[in-house]
Amino acid sequence: MTITEIAKLANVSKSSVSLVLNNKPGVSAETREKVRAIIKKYRYRPNQVAQSLAGGETKSIGLVTKEIDNPYFSRMTRGVNDVCSRLGYSLLLGCSEQSLEREREIIITMVSKRVDGLIICPLQSEDSDYAYVGDLLKDSYPLVVLGTVGSYTTNVVDIDNFQAAYDAVSYLIQKGHTEIAYLAGPVHSGHGKERLDAYKQALSDNGIPVQRSRIVHAKPYVAEGVRAGKELLAGSPQVPSAIFCYNDLIAIGLLRVLEERGLEVPGRVSVMGFDNIDIDQYLQIPLTTIDQPSYEMGKTAANMLIKQIAAGTAGARFEKTILPHRIIERKSVANIREPISISLLQ
């Protein structure tokens, strides 16, 4: 079934059919009804690739995540999907999974497929010059970044990663910890860098020396948390009293190692995560963490993107939305302040 056949069946021209298809004025009520009847009868659906070619828009947007099976990203994806489907857009999904090359390929493919806009969770490596982002920006391609890409100015939706990590470490310090290790995220990660910087800064600001042996990088998976946890324990002269983690998945892996080693949490070691994924509260030791509103971030990014697509204002001015983070206190962090400090405070 094509528009030509429908036109023939209805004894009208293709243009008339097109007008009723798109609910545009210019056809008599009579013709409209006649065409509608035929369309209904044959259950005709316009070919959207032809519409896209002729009309210049695909009614689809691309979402480039890192790993879709990380609860943080799947909730974000749900947020994006919810607004897309409500607003009549389809979602093209890509996963870069720690590969800059994949990230580049995905974006190129999506642009070749002419998605109307792009939402990117960038890998943010220092190895990357983000040339492709520059190209997109040069073409005023509708784009929202969940994070930051080098020094480019673009639309962004994010939390204040530096402040969030700073708050986390400060919280640990406030609870009396001074020997604080960090299971840092991937080396090639902008968020990873910001959080690492914040960790160091928070220590320095409190007169605590930063020790290289207390920092171990890990990819954002549970298994990596296990690996990095072991590495940390093996490399440290003494077990730290608290360990901050790049994300909850790593923290969960660490918790496992700690249990194996008989290191009680939070009795012997305190653990703090990042993201606040659903399961944190159901863990053996409910995890104290930083809440990142992933679902909201996805929704916000999609709304921002589609608004600009609809208005045709992409590239004109950029928006930046920083969503609030907050500390979620649960059971994995102990207060080890000296009683004397407490009495002094009172």
Partner DNA sequence: TTGAAAGCGCTAACAA
Partner DNA sequence: TTGTTAGCGCTTTCAA
Residue 237 amino acid letter: P
Selected from 8, 32, 67, 319, the binder of a copy of itself by CB under 8 A is 67
CA distance 207 to 104: 42
Residues in contact with a copy of itself, total (CB under 8 A)?
47
If contact means CB under 5 to 8 A according to the sort of partner, which of DNA, a copy of itself, none does residue 31 touch?
Answer: DNA
For the chain, the C-alpha Rg in angstroms (whole number) is 26
Bridge-based pairing state of the strands 326-328 and 289-291: antiparallel
Q: What whole-number distance in Å separates Cα of residue 45 and Cα of residue 85?
A: 18
- Please tell me whether residue 48 binds a copy of itself under the rule CB under 8 A: yes
Name 294's Cβ contacts closer than 8 Å, sequence gap at least 6: 72, 73, 75, 76, 79, 275
| Residue 95 binding result from a copy of itself, DNA, none, given CB thresholds of 5 to 8 Å by partner type | a copy of itself
Residue 226 beta carbon to a copy of itself: minimum distance, rounded to whole angstroms: 11
Cβ closest to a copy of itself, residue 60 vs residue 170: 60
Helix (H, G, I), strand (E, B) or coil at 61: strand
Contacts to DNA by CB under 7 A: 2-4, 11-19, 21-22, 25-28, 30-31, 46-47, 50-51, 53-55
- Decide if 267 contacts 235 (C-beta within 8 A): no
Question: What residues between 253 and 282 interact with a copy of itself by CB under 8 A?
Answer: 255-256, 278-279, 282
CB closer to a copy of itself out of 54 and 344: 54
> Which letter, b or e, does each residue of 86-101 get, where b requires 16 or more Cβ atoms within 10 Å of its Cβ?
ebebebbebbbebebe
The least CB distance from residue 146 to a copy of itself, in Å, is 16
**Is residue 330 near a copy of itself by the rule CB under 8 A?**
no
CB 58 within 8 A of CB 116: yes
> Which parts of this chain interact with a copy of itself (CB under 8 A)?
43, 45-50, 52-53, 58, 60, 67-69, 71, 74-75, 77-78, 81, 85, 90-95, 102, 106, 108-114, 135, 222, 252, 255-256, 278-279, 282-285
